Amino acid sequence: MGETGHPELACGIGSWDSDVYGNHRLLVRADTTDCTAPAVAAELPWRRQDMGTGAVDVIVVGPSGERVRNTVAVEVTDETGRIAFEPADGPGTYAVHYLPYAHTGKPYYPQAAYRPATQTADPGWVHRCGLHGADGWEKLPRAEAFGYEAASAVDSFAPLGFAATEDERARLQQAYAEEQFLLFGEDRAHPLGRYRRLPARWALATPFAPLDVTADRGEFYAVQVGVYAFQGLTDVIGEIRELPFAVRCLSTGGIDARGRAFERRVTVDGGRAGALWFGAQIPEDAQPGLYAGEIAVRAPGAPERVLPLRLTVGPDLVADGGAGEPWRLSRLGWLDSALAQDDEPVAPFTPVEAAADEAGGQRLTILGRTVELGPQGLPRRLVSTFTPTVTRADGPPRDLLAAPVTLDIGRPLEHGPLSLDRRGPARVGWSARGAGRDVLLRTEGELEADGFLVVRATVEATADTELDVTLDVPVREEVARYAMGLGLTGRACPAAYDWSWDTPTRNQDAFWLGDPAAGLQLSLRDEHYARPLNTNYYREKPLRTPHSWAGDGAGGVRLRTGEGVRTLSAFSGPLALRAGESRCFEFRLLLTPFKPLEPARQLSERYFHAYASPSEIAEYGANVANLHHATPPNPYINDPLLGADALRSYTEEAHRLGIQVKVYDTVRELTRHTPELPVLASLGDEIFAPGPGGGHAWLREHLGGDYVPGWVAPDVGDVAVVTSGDSRWHNSYVSGIERLRRVVGIDGLYLDDVAYDRTTMKRVRKVLSATGGRPPLIDLHSCNQFREPDGFASSANLYAELLPYVDRLWLGELFDYEGTDEGSDTGGALGADPAYWLVEISGIPFGLMGEMLEGGGNPWRGLVFGMTARAPMTDVRPLWRAFDQLRLPEAEMTGWWAAGATTTPPVRTGRDDVLATTWEGPGGTVTALASWAGNPVDVTLSTPSGHTAAYAPAIEGFQPERRFAPGEAIRVEPGRGWLLRLT
């Protein structure tokens, strides 16, 4: 047995139609003598890992490429198959395909259905060959099995996917009867992955034999040791000893995505195999030569066992730890990276400023917002200085709160002093303690430079007691004009609303209310929170119902309006606590908007969202290229570094033509082409989300049954598996983004929905910003997640915590732009309400601007939010030319949303259902009109100086040329509008 890992068969790669015959076959040779008989018998030592082997068809294909119909599967087990077939093509090599399947469903989310065992042989042939009897197969001449082939290298079971036979396992156990487990050293090139049966390669090897490996200076060297347990092992621990290098066991813990050390429990069931992975950081100045160490493994109730390790360090030096060559698996060192895990601010945010006040509280100031804390550690005042246009953060102060935020636990408390803790320039923390009858209250809070405020109030019972906890957030009604969340899509804020927890089907724990220049999102969590999956996968890993806020089933949220105040209340209902029991009531307030709008950047950065050469993009007139996956420079989903050389060449050419390049790279799924994938799969459910399995055949054949199938790109043969919402893979992702920026030279990221939290998003922004040159670009796309598969979560609300670090939104797929969606869960025709556009789609209340997608959007309505569709799916070049001719990127924008009691817009239409957004600059005064009226309407424009004439330049596909005299009525059709220069 060589590197192939199969004791009886040579292994290789073949070529055939895998959609018909599957990904695996055995080769059998029928010689001249055999072919004189009507049938030959073949024994197939396939050594399968899969279950239910007898239910899958076995197909024989002759040397001519034609299927041999006269085939009988006499016996099919997981170890071997016994078949008889007619050598219809005469002497030669016959291929036995033993895992044929058909993919059903959508091509991007297929389901592999393995073809059932089917009788195709002629009954007369079966009888003539004696195959109707029990011993007929034994009497037939033999066709020898001599090879195994896979449809591709990534499909192959070699070398560790071939299972040992029962006899081989029994011999091993007899030979090592005194042992509870065995160790097998294995090179990094042969990862075990999720194969759990003992590999044949190990069954025929010598346990505890020395492992000889070779590493280069400077690389992070990964190595594994196989563990085969005769009886079940729990809490398995492994370590490398006696090497003079920094080493660690990746399988038993590390550093999580928030920079905290953690331990991971490793178990190996009896009669099963597992692997422990280790990493050694070889110093760049290491002396070449042989270094002797040992790998020690132990578990409770089992004695420690040791495997000698002989590591030879060669003379070659590799850069960046070997990360530039993914085959080395050196990127596994990124799993425990703390890169950008700090409390430094990133532009445009500034350090948190803190000052004590005379009442025992604290005044905390960040970009455009101020938080005043009361002595109990709760916000008593929230102030915004964003201008009504949301284009600056130096406007007059506006109070959001009508009264302090309160947390009532049903009895009076006596509080100690508020203690402030500055944790870094971008973060300030605080704490306070209170005590009352039968309870202690510990309050801890943080405010970050981006507007993220969190309070964790932990109630501990000192005696058996019952509580009823209520959080009240009283917001001024004139501020709380709009709302979104907890089952409501973006809309004008209702006067009253009631909501209760239903996390198995509803991805809902947050509510936003406010106006574009001042708002807040309240989200409710407890200490057991785990980030759910999203985007079609929500029900595979839904929200955990917070034990505190949901109480014993009576918790919920209510909104009430009275006397100029909208009070948002979260309540637990009656809670019974035993002495010593505690509950954590965490609430988060995201203070919006996060940053000023940048209209000039929005109109001057022209996105091209399709693969084309840089010269083609430049000729088109765009200056930002989004490189999706499944394209030549970025072939595989969420691992663009696999195409680093091609991507670097593309980016360099684009930069020479003045084009910025952004690359698709999220962490939600991972391509099967990632060399580290088998290692990550061996970590159980740490990296990959547990789930029902199924999906593409490759996933079923290599990952077992506990995973969530991901995206499939048939054109490039890419298959992905869904990752967990929170894992060490986020550390690796951040490190990969840093390399993409520093080494490859990309300008930013295109995020197609996001599976990580704000901590990872901050780190991504920081590593992109750390390299000099142009500021990075990040745009976020989302399909409308207010749908059953996604748990009815509004995308803007779902991703609000990430938006401080995003530059542009594309909340477009499946969104209702026209007002034709009458779904019962959406509350009516959404696109018919400009409030829906403002809150749900535009991004403006969060300090962002965006673009449209579904059906090209509505160009007239979009323009009053500064939005267009995205090229080249929609040809927006006529609008781009109009922007330049009217010099809009140089102008000051005043959106229709700026109108209020103290603000008069530059241009008015006299109607609430025909909105006007205006730009004032070197091109004069330009206004965009759009109608939400149900019928054609006439409007007369007015300005502070009175009525004015208007000129509509001809814009292909948008409007004809037209002039309007001062005071002349302008006809606006339903769902349409105008772009006018006032004269």
The pLDDT > 90 percentage for the chain reads: 92
pLDDT band at residue 821 using 50, 70 and 90 as cut-offs: low
In the prediction, which pLDDT does 691 show?
94
Q: What is the mean pLDDT of the chain?
A: 95
22: tokens are: 């599957």
pTM above 0.85, yes or no: yes
Q: Which residues pair with 269 in a beta bridge?
A: none
Cα 337 to its chain centre, rounded Å, is 19
Report the percentage of the chain scoring pLDDT > 70: 98
Beta strands 398-399; 977-982: pairing state: unpaired
* Cα dist from 955 to 456, 702, 738, 799, 982, whole Å: 54, 55, 42, 35, 16
Radius of gyration of the chain (CA): 33
User: Once rounded to an integer, what is the mean pLDDT over residues 285-306?
Assistant: 97
pLDDT score for 825: 46
The whole-number pLDDT of residue 890 equals 97
Residue 358: what pLDDT? 76
pLDDT tens figures, 608-650 = 999 999 999 999 999 999 999 999 999 999 999 999 999 999 9
**Per-residue confidence (pLDDT) for residue 34, from 0 to 100:** 66
Give the per-residue pLDDT at 904.
79
Mean of pLDDT values over 679-690: 96
pLDDT tens figures, 658-679 = 999 999 999 999 999 999 999 9
pLDDT at position 823 is: 45
Q: Note whether 836 and 823 are within 8 A (CB).
A: no
The average pLDDT across 932-954 equals 92
pLDDT band at 820 (very low <50, low <70, confident <90, very high): low
User: 806 pLDDT exceeds 60?
Assistant: yes
Rounded-to-integer distance, Cα 953 and Cα 144, Å: 80
HEC string of 520-551 equals EEEEEECCCCCCCCCCCCHHHCCCCCCCCCCC
Give the residue from 836, 852, 840 showing the smallest Cα distance to 915. Answer: 836
Q: In this structure, how many other beta carbons lie within 10 angstroms of the beta carbon of residue 919?
A: 27
pLDDT value at residue 51? 64
Closest by CA position to 555, among listed 533, 587, 578: 587
When pLDDT is cut at 50, 70 and 90, the band that residue 3 belongs to is: low
Structure tokens at 49: 């890992």
What is the C-alpha to C-alpha distance for residues 462 and 409, in angstroms, rounded to an integer?
A: 14
pLDDT given at position 705: 87
Q: What is the pLDDT of residues 310-339, one digit of tens each?
A: 999 999 999 999 999 999 999 999 999 999
Which tokens in the block code for residue 175?
């030979």
Q: Quick one: pLDDT at residue 650?
A: 98
Q: Looking at residue 830, what is its pLDDT? A: 64
Burial of 982 from C-beta contacts in 10 A (0-12 / 13-18 / 19+): buried
Q: What is the mean pLDDT of residues 683-697?
A: 95
Say yes or no to pLDDT of 133 above 90. no
The H or E element spanning position 913 is none
User: How far is it, in rounded angstroms, from Cα 645 to Cα 633?
Assistant: 8
pLDDT of 826 strictly over 50: no
Averaged over 594-619, what is the pLDDT?
98
Q: Is the pLDDT of residue 824 over 60?
A: no
Q: What is the pLDDT of residue 285?
A: 96
DSSP 643: G
Q: How confident is the model at residue 902 (pLDDT cuts 50, 70, 90)?
A: low
pLDDT at 97 over 60: yes
Pairing of strands 211-217, 302-317: parallel
Q: Is the pLDDT of residue 453 over 90?
A: yes
Residue 118 has pLDDT above 80, yes or no: yes
Q: Tens digit of pLDDT for each residue in 691-735?
A: 999 999 999 999 988 999 999 999 999 999 999 989 999 999 999
**pLDDT number for residue 552:** 85
Joined together, the tokens standing for residue 777 give 């670009």
CA–CA distance, 101 with 113 (Å, rounded to integer):
5
DSSP one-letter string for 233-253: B-S-EEEEES-SSEEEESTTE
Cα gap 105→99, rounded to integer Å: 19
CA distance 195 to 705: 11
pLDDT of residue 736: 98
CA dist., res. 295 & res. 306, Å (int): 6
Q: What is the pLDDT of residue 879?
A: 98
Return the pLDDT at 828.
46
